[in-house]
Amino acid sequence: MQDKFRLRIGLIGSGFMGRAHTNAYKRIGDFFPDLKYRPVLQAVCSRSPDRVQGFAEQWGYHSTETDWRTLVVRKDIDAIDISSPNDTHSEIAIAAAKAGKMILCEKPLARSVAEAQPMVEAVEAAGVQNTVFYNYRRVPAVTLAKQVIDSGKLGQIFHFRSNFLQDWTISADLPQGGEGLWRLDVKTAGSGVTGDLLAHCIDTAMWLNGGIRDVSAVTETFIKERMHQETGKVAPVGIDDACIFHCHFDNGSLGLFEATRYARGQKALYTFEINGEHASIRWDLQDQNRLEYFDHGDDSIVRGWRSIHVSDSDQPYIEHWWIPGVCIGYEHTFVHHVADFLKSLETGEACAPNFRQALETQKVCEAVLASAASRSWKDTGVAWSS
């Protein structure tokens, strides 16, 4: 590999997303051999020296850091991967952009629009390539849904409906904050299910169906106080445990969204359904290789919902994997994202969603929370372009 095509990664964070992104960097060369650029696992950064050393050894990073400020200015790093908790995204991204590094950032872009806006300005001022891991766009069946919608087969869209349901925080004994539980601490996460789960639904929805104009939302925090893992003290819970909102899209369709961590029995039930004039589509993460499709134009004696197993070599991303008919899974969405990022370095185009597009999702999240707090409709201010 020529030196100029090495993309020396500096990963920040050694949790769930650090592993998911690293797996993608490791797999890419084997399954996307035609890409010019290749990631090199140059350095990983995490605050605990023991932990970062263990992570580097397990996953094959060449070096370690315990302070991200040292990492982002290292001359042997080309791209910073931000896989650390939400409260760190903005400061790291701005410093990395100033140091001329490309940035691959885990979702959500930041905790708020106020934090996200300067991130967009920083990457644009520095002219560095940037992207945000809204990974579900790159499930082959979801990418196929985009192709079907863009082909016009659905006609005018009337409805977009989406859920992201989990049940992992029902126990009142679960602490908030700290290792593994920062998503429950509003200071670190920024919000609860709105930024963590609905952000995925909103990103996919706007990608498939265009901008969200205004929202009306309700949120609930079922468990009002939890022990904080870092202080050992019981403290008020500031996150939204559940959120439901409805909205208008720019194209005139109506949206209905729900996310919760209190749907007993649901682990990650992420679904969407789109109803158009001529046809409808639905998708379910727990059966992620299938896209369901109903076409009113079908001959009436065979008309009905068809279940398309998205695993054939002419369907999105599949030719890079195995033989037609066998399945791929969750981790492949990150590989696809990294593949598209590396391709974008060849073409010079943006790797969607870039920071500017992810800012629009942030605006919707913020409008949702503001609407719930004020019990009123809120304009999002979104200016969407795919």
Residues that bind ligand SOE (CB under 6 A): 166, 196, 200, 268
Nearer to ligand SOE, 166 or 371 (CB): 166
Give CA–CA dist 317/328, Å, rounded: 10
- Using DSSP's 3-state secondary structure scheme, residue 145 falls into helix
CB of 8 to ligand SOE, least distance (A): 26
Nearer to ligand SOE, 190 or 276 (CB): 190
CB of 123 to ligand SOE, least distance (A): 21
Quick one: 157 exposed, middle or buried, by C-beta within 10 A (0-12, 13-18, 19+)?
Answer: buried
- Using DSSP's 3-state secondary structure scheme, residue 41 falls into strand
Give CA–CA dist 152/3, Å, rounded: 44
Give CA–CA dist 260/222, Å, rounded: 10
Nearer to ligand SOE, 8 or 200 (CB): 200
Give CA–CA dist 33/349, Å, rounded: 20
Give CA–CA dist 54/159, Å, rounded: 48
CB of 285 to ligand SOE, least distance (A): 9
Q: How many residues does the chain have?
A: 386
Q: Closest Cα to residue 212, out of 204, 221, 220?
A: 204
Dihedrals φ, ψ of 88, to 5°?
-95, -15
DSSP code per residue over 174-196: --BSSTTTGGG-HHHHSSSHIII
Nearer to ligand SOE, 166 or 344 (CB): 166
CB of 333 to ligand SOE, least distance (A): 9
CB of 200 to ligand SOE, least distance (A): 6
Q: Closest Cα to residue 332, out of 27, 96, 68?
A: 27
CA 216 to chain centre: 23
Nearer to ligand SOE, 109 or 148 (CB): 109
CB of 108 to ligand SOE, least distance (A): 9
CB of 96 to ligand SOE, least distance (A): 21
Residue nearest to ligand SOE (CB): 196
Nearer to ligand SOE, 268 or 326 (CB): 268
Nearer to ligand SOE, 60 or 180 (CB): 180
Give CA–CA dist 77/185, Å, rounded: 31
Nearer to ligand SOE, 166 or 188 (CB): 166
CB of 361 to ligand SOE, least distance (A): 12
